[in-house]
């Protein structure tokens, strides 16, 4: 076990835990944001640099501070380590820089982007970004392409977190896509226009932190905040079948995995559940999904619809009584 | 004349062949090491010699060797980094082209010291003709029993392979090099784990520069203590310097560390002074990634001490008034140079070579290049100069590998020392239309004029 202090909060975690996971075990403001790390994908993390933290004391045995800011998702805790996240001005400054870098070539097309409302980059931008850009140059653009018949790739929006390539590598039998070119011309692409047709390929939509990979069966269906998420399940032979249905009235617009407060799914779901079961009758609906991510969609008003309805009836009665009394 | 070790026999005709190389005393270190020394003795000698990595970072080679995981049951590897891509550096090419056997001998001795049974030389794609030279030399060595099974009749066996890269600067970073050697995309790895624990094929690996490895046989021959006597302080031994730019005699020179910068630039033995009798304006001392120095800080440090060609003296004053020895790419610039144009050229290089894995470097290098392009072509504003400083600061230290730092340092230092010139570009867009705008009428700086003239 190792004792680590993050922003003044003392935590005891098993050896070999990363700083990020140690912080997540407590939760709250001490958790650094992460755009590329995904706990369920091996080898992910370290690339986006939003989770940089300052280590002011390496360990009890070696109390020297680390010379540079370290990525908390890839740095293991040591006994006696002291970490500064939001309490360090250096970290906040670096994070601001990273957010600015991520946004300079981003098209900022949130008004027409399906991910808007549940986008990690949007949330990060609101929290750590500046109100105006200093970037006056032309943004780089790409053509939109279809990777597989169910997934659309908007490379303009991609932040190159590499998560989808890890999905391709670790969830599917045959990886057909990856990163080509380098520097700011790097892009996600398929191997010579190959189609991605694997039962679990749809999960790359769920792991994408931005709107680069979107579900073609649900694109432009509705803004996410006009839909209500419902936990549902069905008997599925290839996956757990536990999903979230994003519904408008009785209509199922979109099916996704169940994401936790850090935007990570509990279990990966198969393409049949995701793309083909768009009828509410095929699902056993458990109830409204509680969204606890820091996002515009976490108002969770639909959870209380029943009470609100009762309230309205109550008030209507009261008003009616008043009128009757005259 | 300084002492020569690496390039002592470089002008002997036919030195690239095994026959002549052996006649000049070649492979005597391999014989001495394999027949009379234990592997740990060699590491000990290298430690005593104080040899520091010649690739740029200057990390003590003996210490790097001692980090290798000896408890691991996996095979150990030695990888030679011949992916010399730093602009202004061409020493390894010269060494491999002229005396390929010195590298092979170094590989044999170093592999024996580390206990590696298979070793690789990773060479950059553009050095295709050097690959041919090396492969021919390796063939000769195999035929003479210097490589393969039971080298020189001992029970030590080594296989040596040359692998050619695709020509990416980033593959000179040791973990990107290992990825590329494994056949993957050349993205730097996250550290830790360091290659000494988990490197090539997740096995303990040491990655060394060509020059470092080529120096090992000399250390074995003359002993570590003797080698440590060459040079000054913690900068021991000889170093190859690739001199280029506005000098009379560009080329690769072997110097004893501790030579003064003034002597190196102006003596006829080395660079032979500034070309065409022009004034010295700036210097990049160790390859394009290190901070640039203005004229008044080249031959003397900020405290007035003479500047020497050592790791310590060149970095005296930190980044405020110093630089780094780096890989030894010595670029001299006279007063016809436009620093803005020069900085833009470097920024273009780093933009082109960024691997695109981590965001600050991927986006920042391109942004800096575009802003510099604007300033150089007369469309800049005063705000842009501060913007560049800010971008450089946000890249520096926040990236996975040192390429981000390497891209940020030249730009930050150019603005630190030559801010006036950037401002001139913003204020006088009409005077910089000609790409050679300072050729006929050099830029006159008030700061430089206020300091004693250097000739």
Q: How many CA atoms within 13 Å lie on the side-chain side of B107?
A: 35
For A176-241, list the strands marked E by DSSP: 177-180, 187-190, 213-215, 228-233
Q: B365 and A68: CB-CB below 8 Å? A: no
Work out the minimum CA distance from A247 to partner chain B, whole angstroms.
36
Tell me if B119 sits within 8 A of B79, measured CB to CB.
Answer: yes
Give the pLDDT confidence score for residue B449 in this predicted structure: 54
Q: How many domains does chain A have?
A: 3
Count of A-B CB contacts under 8 Å:
90
Is residue A187 helix, strand or coil? strand
Tell me if B362 sits within 8 A of B395, measured CB to CB.
Answer: no
Residue B336 main-chain phi, psi, to 5 deg: -85, -10
A266 and A213 belong to one structural domain = no
> In terms of Cα–Cα distance, which of B352, B348, B349 is closest to B369?
B348
Joined together, the tokens standing for residue A271 give: 């393409």
Give the pLDDT confidence score for residue B451 in this predicted structure: 52
Convert the pLDDT of each residue in A181-190 to its tens digit.
999 899 998 8
Convert the pLDDT of each residue in A156-173 to its tens digit.
999 999 999 999 889 888
For every residue of A212-247, DSSP letters joined together read: SEEETTTTTS--GGGSEEEEEE---SSS--EEEEEE
Joined together, the tokens standing for residue B46 give: 């290298």
Domains, chain B, in order of start with CATH, read 18-229 (3.40.50.11540), 232-334 (3.10.20.600), 339-437 (1.20.1440.230)
A187 and A83 belong to one structural domain = no
Joined together, the tokens standing for residue B106 give: 């170094």
Q: Over range B187-204, report the average pLDDT.
A: 93
The pLDDT confidence band at residue B255, using thresholds 50, 70 and 90, is: very high
Q: Where does a domain end: A219, A237, A270?
A: A219
Residue of A nearest to B404 (CA): A183
Q: Rounded to whole angstroms, how far apart are CA atoms B7 and B338?
A: 35
Give the pLDDT confidence score for residue B325 in this predicted structure: 93
Q: How many other CB atoms are there within 10 angstroms of residue A25's CB atom?
A: 13
Q: B359 and A94: CB-CB below 8 Å? A: no
Strands A242-248, A228-233: pairing is antiparallel
A78 and A178 belong to one structural domain = no
Tell me if A231 sits within 8 A of A288, measured CB to CB.
Answer: yes
Among A48, A69, A101, beta carbon nearest to B364: A101
Residue A261 lies in a domain: yes
Is residue A146 helix, strand or coil? strand
A90 and A149 belong to one structural domain = no
Joined together, the tokens standing for residue A302 give: 């639909």
Strands B118-123, B159-164: pairing is parallel
A294 and A192 belong to one structural domain = no
Q: How far is CA B422 from CA A153, B283, B321, B365, B367, in A?
A: 41, 18, 19, 18, 17
Is residue A246 helix, strand or coil? strand
Strands B329-334, B280-284: pairing is antiparallel
Which range (A10-19, A303-312, B23-32, B81-90) has the least confidence? A303-312
More confident call, B446 vs B243:
B243
Q: Rounded to whole angstroms, how far apart are CA atoms A216 and A211?
A: 12
Tell me if B288 sits within 8 A of B410, measured CB to CB.
Answer: yes
Q: Rounded to whole angstroms, how far apart are CA atoms A232 and A273?
A: 11
Joined together, the tokens standing for residue B148 give: 């393969």
A146 and A169 belong to one structural domain = yes
Does residue B291 carry a pLDDT above 50?
Answer: yes
Angle of CA points B295, B301, B304, to nearest 5°: 110
A162 and A58 belong to one structural domain = no
Convert the pLDDT of each residue in A97-107 to its tens digit.
999 999 999 99
Tell me if A84 sits within 8 A of A122, measured CB to CB.
Answer: no
Give the pLDDT confidence score for residue B455 in this predicted structure: 45
* Strand order across the A251-256 sheet: A251-256, A242-248, A228-233, A284-288
Among A134, A159, A162, beta carbon nearest to B387: A134
Residue A198 has what DSSP assignment?
Answer: -
Joined together, the tokens standing for residue A150 give: 């169910």
Task: Say yes or no: A19 contacts chain B, CB-CB below 8 A.
Answer: no
Joined together, the tokens standing for residue A201 give: 């390929």
Does residue B62 carry a pLDDT above 70?
Answer: yes
Residue A312 lies in a domain: no
Tell me if B100 sits within 8 A of B251, measured CB to CB.
Answer: no
A214 and A243 belong to one structural domain = no
Joined together, the tokens standing for residue A163 give: 């998560």
Q: Rounded to whole angstroms, how far apart are CA atoms A54 and A67?
A: 9
Q: Where does a domain end: A182, A201, A219?
A: A219
Does residue A192 carry a pLDDT above 90?
Answer: no
Burial of B267 (0-12, 13-18, 19+ CB in 10 A): middle
Burial of B179 (0-12, 13-18, 19+ CB in 10 A): buried
Residue A102 lies in a domain: no
Convert the pLDDT of each residue in B198-218 to its tens digit.
999 999 999 999 999 999 999
Among A45, A102, A181, beta carbon nearest to B359: A102
Does residue B453 carry a pLDDT above 90?
Answer: no
Q: Rounded to whole angstroms, how far apart are CA atoms A299 and B203?
A: 51
Residue A271 is inside which H or E element, if any?
helix A271-271
Peptide bond into B99 cis (omega under 30): no
For B67-183, list the strands marked E by DSSP: 77-82, 118-123, 159-164
Work out the minimum CA distance from B383 to partner chain A, whole angstroms.
10
Joined together, the tokens standing for residue B314 give: 């060149």
Percent of chain A with pLDDT over 70: 100
Q: Where does a domain end: A97, A121, A155?
A: A97
**Cα dihedral angle (B46, B69, B134, B240), rounded to 10 degrees?**
-40
Q: Rounded to whole angstroms, how far apart are CA atoms B58 and B323?
A: 13
> In terms of Cα–Cα distance, which of B206, B112, B205 is closest to B155?
B112
Tell me if A152 sits within 8 A of A219, measured CB to CB.
Answer: yes
Joined together, the tokens standing for residue B223 give: 């002993």
Joined together, the tokens standing for residue A199 give: 């039962």
Give the pLDDT confidence score for residue A294 in this predicted structure: 74
Give the pLDDT confidence score for residue B448 in this predicted structure: 55
Strands A242-248, A187-190: pairing is unpaired
Strands A242-248, A251-256: pairing is antiparallel
Calculate the average pLDDT of chain A.
Answer: 91
Q: Rounded to whole angstroms, how far apart are CA atoms B455 and B452?
A: 10
This prediction has a pTM of 0.92
Task: Say yes or no: A68 contacts chain B, CB-CB below 8 A.
Answer: yes
Q: How far is CA B442 from CA A112, A221, A246, B339, in A?
A: 53, 63, 68, 11
Task: Say yes or no: A105 contacts chain B, CB-CB below 8 A.
Answer: yes
A284 and A227 belong to one structural domain = yes
Burial of B276 (0-12, 13-18, 19+ CB in 10 A): exposed
**ipTM score for this prediction:** 0.91
The percent helix, strand, coil of chain A (3-state, each to 5) is 30, 20, 50
Q: B358 and A48: CB-CB below 8 Å? A: yes
Tell me if B236 sits within 8 A of B226, measured CB to CB.
Answer: no
Calculate the average pLDDT of chain B.
Answer: 93
Residue A322 lies in a domain: no
Give the pLDDT confidence score for residue A80 in this predicted structure: 94
Give the pLDDT confidence score for residue B452 in this predicted structure: 52
**Cα dihedral angle (B36, B38, B44, B46), rounded to 10 degrees?**
60
Report the CATH number that the domain containing residue A83 is assigned in CATH. 3.10.20.740
Residue A307 lies in a domain: no
Residue B329 main-chain phi, psi, to 5 deg: -90, 100
Among B354, B367, B370, beta carbon nearest to A182: B354
A55 and A120 belong to one structural domain = no
The pLDDT confidence band at residue B167, using thresholds 50, 70 and 90, is: confident
Q: Rounded to whole angstroms, how far apart are CA atoms A184 and A181?
A: 9
**Cα dihedral angle (B115, B119, B122, B123), rounded to 10 degrees?**
110
B interface mutation test: which of A105, A141, A183 has the most B CBs within 10 A? Answer: A183
Q: Rounded to whole angstroms, how far apart are CA atoms B189 and B192?
A: 9
The pLDDT confidence band at residue B136, using thresholds 50, 70 and 90, is: very high
Q: How many CA atoms within 13 Å lie on the side-chain side of B68?
A: 30
Joined together, the tokens standing for residue B240 give: 């190859």
Q: Over range A277-282, report the average pLDDT.
A: 93
Q: Rounded to whole angstroms, how far apart are CA atoms B293 and B286?
A: 11
Q: Over range A30-37, report the average pLDDT.
A: 94
More confident call, B342 vs A302:
B342
Tell me if B75 sits within 8 A of B203, measured CB to CB.
Answer: yes
Strands A2-6, A81-84: pairing is parallel
Residue A255, domain extent: 221-300
A207 and A112 belong to one structural domain = yes
A93 and A147 belong to one structural domain = no
Does residue B450 carry a pLDDT above 80?
Answer: no
Residue of B nearest to A186 (CA): B356
Task: Say yes or no: A142 contacts chain B, CB-CB below 8 A.
Answer: no
Chain A residues lying within 8 Å of B171, measured CB to CB: none
In terms of DSSP H, where are the helices of B99-150?
A: 100-114, 128-143
Among A45, A134, A183, beta carbon nearest to B354: A183
Tell me if B43 sits within 8 A of B66, measured CB to CB.
Answer: yes
Residue A5 main-chain phi, psi, to 5 deg: -110, 120
Q: Over range B301-329, report the average pLDDT.
A: 92
Give the pLDDT confidence score for residue B447 in this predicted structure: 61
Chain A residues lying within 8 Å of B370, measured CB to CB: 137
């Amino acid at each position: 076990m190792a004792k680590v202090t993050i922003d003044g909060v003392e935590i005891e975690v098993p050896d070999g835990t990363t700083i990020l996971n140690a912080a997540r075990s407590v939760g709250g403001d001490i958790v650094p944001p992460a755009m590329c790390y995904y706990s369920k994908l091996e080898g992910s993390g370290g690339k986006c640099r939003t989770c940089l933290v300052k280590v002011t004391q390496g360990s009890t045995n070696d109390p020297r501070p680390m010379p540079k800011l370290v990525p908390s998702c890839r740095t293991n805790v040591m006994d006696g380590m002291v970490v500064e996240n939001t309490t360090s001005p250096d970290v906040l400054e670096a994070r601001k820089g990273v957010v600015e870098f991520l946004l300079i070539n981003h098209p900022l097309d949130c008004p027409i982007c399906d991910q808007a409302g549940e986008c990690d980059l949007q949330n990060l931008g609101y929290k750590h970004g500046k109100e105006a850009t200093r970037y006056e140059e032309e943004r780089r653009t790409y053509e939109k392409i279809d990777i597989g018949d169910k997934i659309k790739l908007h490379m303009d929006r991609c932040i190159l977190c590499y998560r989808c390539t890890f999905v391709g590598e670790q969830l599917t039998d045959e990886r057909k896509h990856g990163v080509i070119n380098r520097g700011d011309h790097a892009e996600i692409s398929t191997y010579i226009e190959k189609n991605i047709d694997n039962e679990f390929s749809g999960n790359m939509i769920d792991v994408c932190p931005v709107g680069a990979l979107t579900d073609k069966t649900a694109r432009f269906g509705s803004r996410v905040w006009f839909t209500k998420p419902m936990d549902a399940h069905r008997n599925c032979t290839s996956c757990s079948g536990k999903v979230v249905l994003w519904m408008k009235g009785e209509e199922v617009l979109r099916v996704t995995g169940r994401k936790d407060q850090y935007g990570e799914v509990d279990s990966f779901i198969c393409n049949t559940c995701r793309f083909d079961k768009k009828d509410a009758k095929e699902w056993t609906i458990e109830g409204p999904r509680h969204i606890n991510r820091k996002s515009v969609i976490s108002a969770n008003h639909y959870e209380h619809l029943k009470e609100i309805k009762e309230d309205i009836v109550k008030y209507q009665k009261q008003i009616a009584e008043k009128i009757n009394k005259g | 004349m300084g002492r020569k070790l690496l390039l002592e026999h470089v002008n002997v005709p036919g030195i690239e062949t095994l026959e002549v190389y052996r006649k000049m005393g070649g492979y005597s270190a391999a014989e001495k090491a394999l027949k009379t020394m234990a592997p740990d003795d060699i590491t000990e000698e290298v430690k005593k010699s104080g040899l520091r990595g010649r690739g740029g970072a200057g990390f003590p080679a003996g210490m790097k060797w001692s980090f290798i995981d000896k408890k691991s049951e996996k095979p150990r590897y030695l990888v030679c980094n011949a992916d010399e891509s730093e602009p202004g550096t061409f020493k390894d090419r010269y060494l491999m082209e002229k005396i390929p056997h010195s590298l092979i001998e170094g590989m044999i001795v170093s592999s024996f010291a580390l206990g590696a049974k298979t070793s690789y030389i990773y060479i950059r794609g553009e050095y295709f003709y050097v690959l041919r030279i090396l492969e021919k030399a390796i063939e000769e060595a195999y035929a003479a029993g210097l490589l393969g099974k039971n080298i020189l009749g001992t029970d030590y066996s080594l296989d040596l392979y040359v692998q050619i890269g695709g020509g990416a600067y980033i593959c000179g970073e040791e973990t990107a090099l290992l990825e590329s050697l494994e056949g993957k995309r050349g993205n730097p790895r996250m550290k830790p784990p360091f290659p000494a624990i988990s490197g090539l094929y997740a096995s303990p690996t040491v990655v060394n520069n060509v020059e470092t490895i080529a120096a090992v046989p000399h250390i074995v021959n003359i002993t570590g203590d003797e080698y440590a006597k060459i040079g000054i302080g913690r900068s021991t031994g000889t170093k190859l310097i690739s001199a280029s730019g506005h000098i009379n005699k560009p080329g690769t020179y072997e110097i004893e560390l501790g030579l003064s910068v003034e002597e190196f630039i102006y003596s006829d033995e080395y660079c032979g002074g500034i070309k065409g009798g022009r004034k010295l304006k700036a210097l990049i001392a160790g390859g394009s990634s290190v901070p640039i120095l203005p004229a008044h800080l080249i031959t003397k440090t900020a405290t007035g001490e003479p500047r020497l060609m050592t790791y310590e003296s060149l970095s005296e004053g930190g980044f405020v008034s110093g630089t780094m020895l780096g890989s030894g790419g010595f670029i001299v610039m006279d007063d016809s140079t436009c620093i803005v144009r020069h900085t833009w050229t470097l920024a273009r290089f780093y933009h082109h070579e960024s691997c695109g894995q981590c965001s600050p470097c991927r986006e920042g290098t391109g942004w800096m290049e575009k802003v510099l392009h604007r300033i150089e072509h007369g469309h800049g504003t005063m705000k842009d100069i501060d913007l560049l400083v800010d971008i450089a600061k946000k890249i520096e230290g926040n990236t996975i590998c040192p390429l981000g730092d390497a891209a940020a340092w030249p730009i930050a230092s150019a603005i630190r020392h030559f801010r006036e010139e950037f401002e001139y570009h913003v204020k006088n867009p009409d005077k910089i239309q000609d790409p050679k705008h300072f050729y006929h009428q050099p830029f006159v700086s008030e700061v430089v004029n206020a300091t004693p003239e250097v000739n």
